[in-house]
Structure 1
């Protein structure tokens, strides 16, 4: 993991502890035709995660979802299936609300998935839901279990 990303993360954490901002975010359970899920490894974190990010001021949740998928993994043509859940996180001293979407991509789009932002994303990959990498984040595992159970997730991240 790049040292400058860790330093930026520490500075952001200090800012969040002082300001206690409310943030909005999106993540996606992106599935290909073989029901494999797309996961990313960020340059500033140690686990595999669902792709996604923050919602900008004036941007809709769907707009943020589509932008983040383009910026992180070069997916442009996604079909939103449903909302998996809405979650609240108090980690990192933020008041964070995250909407998780389930989306599908075609085989052609899945084959074209790549690291679009090489500074932020270290790795991308497709994984079977029953064969996730050992270092998949606990929250990602919980979201995927909720998706698999066709449950609506609410509450704490």
Structure 2
């Protein structure tokens, strides 16, 4: 094994230069990411939730905003893809959250929607289960973020800035 004979000061200097270079380049190769998520209620007041194959728990439908796509277009796409849902009235944007659990550059635009389901959502490799639930009969493993959003919607908690 070859021993590193570089003086510690030079290593620190290299690290400092590389770090500054990375911070200058990073915004061009990995810009801010943005997603959408929605509390989707049917006309009976039940909320639509999905269970993904790749993360635990029940979530409100949503996903990433693609390059060249508006947040409303992304929302309509995600509702269609994850639940065969379409908005009955224009979605109401409620809040923008910083999602530092995903990355230091991720934000989530949160909507409230009244929806109708055009057809039952079949299970597949991404969505292993989905459905409408009464607010007093949610599945036991609803995510903590979903529960926080529901408390905010009910006026039981102030809107937080963190997802």
Shared fold (TM-score greater than 0.5)?
yes
Per residue, is there more helix in 1 or in 2?
A: 1
Q: Which of 1 and 2 has greater Rg? A: 2
Following the alignment from structure 1 to structure 2, what is the Cα–Cα distance between the partners of residues 147 and 80? 17
Unaligned 5+ runs, structure 1: 1-18
**Higher relative contact order by CA 8 Å / sep ≥ 6: 1 or 2?**
1
Per residue, is there more strand in 1 or in 2?
A: 1
RMSD value, Cα: 2.2
Measured at CA, do residues 55 and 152 of structure 1 come closer, stay the same or move farther in structure 2, by a change above 3 Å? farther
Q: Is the 8 A contact 1:85 1:152 kept in 2?
A: no
Counterpart of 2:132 in 1: which secondary structure?
Answer: strand
Unaligned 5+ runs, structure 2: 1-28
Q: How many equivalent pairs are there?
A: 135
Encode CA deviations 1:35-91: one digit per residue, 9 max, x unaligned.
000000001011000000000011111000001111111113442342221100111
Q: TM-score, normalised by structure 1?
A: 0.77
Q: TM-score, normalised by structure 2?
A: 0.74
Aligned to 1:92, which of 102, 109, 112? 102
Runs of 4+ aligned structure 1 residues displaced above 3 Å come to: none
Measured at CA, do residues 35 and 61 of structure 1 come closer, stay the same or move farther in structure 2, by a change above 3 Å? same
